[in-house]
Structure 1
Amino acid sequence: MNQALPLLFGFITTPLELISFLLSVITVGLNIRQLHWAWLFAILSSALYAVVFFDARLYGDMALQFVFVLVSVWGWYVWLGASTEKSSRLAPIVPVVSRLSARQRVYGILAWGVGFVLLSWFLKSFTDTDVPYADGFLTAGSLLGQLLLSRKKLENWHVWIIVDVLYVGLYVYKNLMLTAILYALFVLMAIMGLRVWSKQCPK
């Protein structure tokens, strides 16, 4: 699954990166439509991308994929909702889109900053990555974005727009060109998601 595949304009990818790319696009498309099946595709794409990032020595991103799998399982459960009826079956009770309070926004920024410091220190001290600060900053931001997404907070799209723009540059640097294209597409899809969710979110 790691043999090179030629793309347009001389870019090279692998079958594993290509499959991960397609699953990720499906995931974001389903997230915009607020369909709970997005979490299944998120689990699959994250598991495959963990291998891709390991090969690229992006260990923060690799570890992030495992966190994404766990958060995706939880997010899937939250989006479905748990019935308190005697049948104890899962009911389609989906949280409504809402905004963070001013205090929650401050907490979110602080959490991103603390996560950046801790992750960057760990990556620089205990791995052979050549981009500990970029990897740490974007990993921390991605964790915040995923948490906000699972709670259907509108601001998740703001976080993803920032993170995805910066990821494009990082993946170009690491020669993961297809993944760089994916994250450029994610920027556009995040903008679309922000517009769609804003219409459903009370002021």
Structure 2
Amino acid sequence: MDIVHWLFDAQIRFGSQSIYWRELLGNVFGLASALGGMRRRIWAWPVGIVGNVLLFTVFLGSAFGEPNAVNLLGQAGRQIVFIIVSVYGWYRWTRRSDTTSTSITPHWASWRERIGLVVVMVGGTAILTPVFTALGSYSPQWSDAWIFMGSVLATYGMAKGWVEFWLIWVAVDVVGVPLLFSAGFYATGLMYVVYGVFTLTGFFVWRNRRVRPSSAILVEG
């Protein structure tokens, strides 16, 4: 129990500012998961889940007794969805016929799937913005909703093996960096900057390793 209490309370202070170790550790696990995803390693999923649990406690700080906590409901809620989608991705990567024991073969999404991603991204953001506003999420709430929807769709795309999921992460990072800094989540904001560079690299890595269109039909089936 002492270790648990330390994990919840331990902070790093920079003058008048402080960062919880939970935020740092959660982002470290998240980065490790992203690295594993770029290399198409199945272990990326359970590692990511650990990071999700830690970051959930950070972004919903008021529920864990943090004084003057800034809640980002989209950021907190997406951690729960991440866990659910990650379990699905973990299962899918271990069951697909195009995988070995450690990797999955990237492929392009169809045009129909791409249009579906855009519609869900924009529509979901529009629907969630007033919901997050009513629940008291940090403003601007549309940014929180955009990050939530993009994160869910990117994780789902990773589970499907779509090359395009990296570009969704780029869209998340562009909005996420200013929101997180304005809310005082400096460690996560800096990590989003790193993610921005990383996701562009991941996109080109997956693009170069994608299957040919004729092979993609077999993968989709």
- Give 1:32's aligned residue: 38
Query: Within the alignment, does 1:188 sit opposite 2:197 as a pair?
Result: yes
Secondary structure in structure 2 of the residue aligned to 1:13? strand
Quote the offset at 1:54 in angstroms.
Answer: 0.6
Instruction: Check 1:18–1:95 CA distance in 2 against 1; reply closer, same or farther (3 A cut).
Output: closer
Partner Cα separation in structure 1 for residue 128 and residue 169 of structure 2: 19
User: Are 2:86 and 1:72 aligned?
Assistant: yes
One-letter amino acid matched to 2:188: T
Aligned-residue CA RMSD (Å): 2.1
- What letter matches 2:132 in structure 1? L
Report what 1:15 is aligned to: 21
Question: CA–CA distance in 1 between the matches of 2:89 and 2:118?
Answer: 21
The 5-angstrom pairing of residues 132-143 of structure 1 reads 132-143=141-152
Q: Structure 1 stretches of 5 or more lacking a match?
A: 84-90
Partner Cα distance (1:11, 1:190) in 2: 29
Partner of 1:88: none
- How many residues get paired? 195
For residue 122 of structure 1, report the CA deviation from its aligned partner. Answer: 1.2
Give the counterpart letter for 1:159 in structure 2: I
Letter of the structure 1 residue corresponding to residue 54 of structure 2 = L
Where 1:134 maps in the other structure, the secondary structure is helix
Identity of aligned residues (%): 23
Q: How does 1:36-75 map to 2 (within 5 A)?
A: 36-55=42-61, 56-75=70-89
Q: 1:148 to 1:68 in 2, by over 3 A?
A: same
1:83-102 equivalent positions in 2, closer than 5 A: 92=101, 95-102=104-111
Q: Equivalent residue for 2:136?
A: 128
Match of 2:185 among 166, 170, 176: 176
Mapped to 2, the partners of 1:29 and 1:76 lie a distance apart of: 15
- How far did 1:128 drift? 1.3
Deviations 1:86-144 (A, max 9, x none): xxxxx73854211112222111100111111121121112x112322111111111111
Q: Tell me which residue corresponds to 1:167.
A: 176
Secondary structure of the residue that 1:153 maps to in structure 2? coil
For residues 122 and 65 of structure 1, the distance between their equivalents in structure 2, rounded to whole angstroms, comes to 17
Secondary structure at 2:156 match in 1: helix
CA distance in 2, matches of 1:94, 1:3: 37
Equivalent in the alignment of 1:81: 95
Deviations 1:59-94 (A, max 9, x none): 1111110010011111011111168xxxxxxx7385
- Contact 1:11-1:177 within 8 A present in 2 as well: no
Match of 2:11 among 4, 22, 34: 4
AA of the residue aligned to 1:176: F
Shift of 1:196: 0.8
Question: What are structure 2's unaligned runs of at least 5 residues?
Answer: 1-7, 62-69, 214-221
Distance 2:142 2:125 in 1: 8
One-letter code aligned to 2:165:
N
